Amino acid sequence: MGFKPRTSIELNVFHIKRNLKKLRSREINIIDCGLNKRFDRLKTESPEWFEDLHPQYIDIAKDINR
């Protein structure tokens, strides 16, 4: 049995984490993942999660662009 998100914030964080893993393994590119919208919504709903996950996204994007 897997993780079942219950709130919209949990669902949003789940999708962000999943897409970050795919970006790290280069299964998808930055344009296709659509994380900018998710991060905008996360910034307003839960700043704590935003501060935790957004720096990871920035680091991955920098590594991909090298």
pLDDT at 31: 86
Q: Please give the chain's pLDDT, 66 residues, in tens.
A: 576 768 889 999 999 999 999 999 999 988 888 899 999 999 999 999 999 999 999 999 999 887
Q: Output the pTM of the full model.
A: 0.86
User: Which positions ≥6 away from 24 have C-beta within 8 Å?
Assistant: 60
Minimal CA–CA distance to 15: which of 28, 59, 64? 28
User: What pLDDT was estimated at residue 18?
Assistant: 94
Q: Domains in the chain: how many in total?
A: 1
DSSP-based three-state secondary structure for 42: helix
Question: Would you state the structure tokens that stand for residue 10, as one six-digit string?
Answer: 């949990």
State which residues form the domain around 48.
8-65
**Assigned domain for 39 exists:** yes
Question: Residue 62's pLDDT is what?
Answer: 92
- Whether 12 is in a domain gets the answer yes
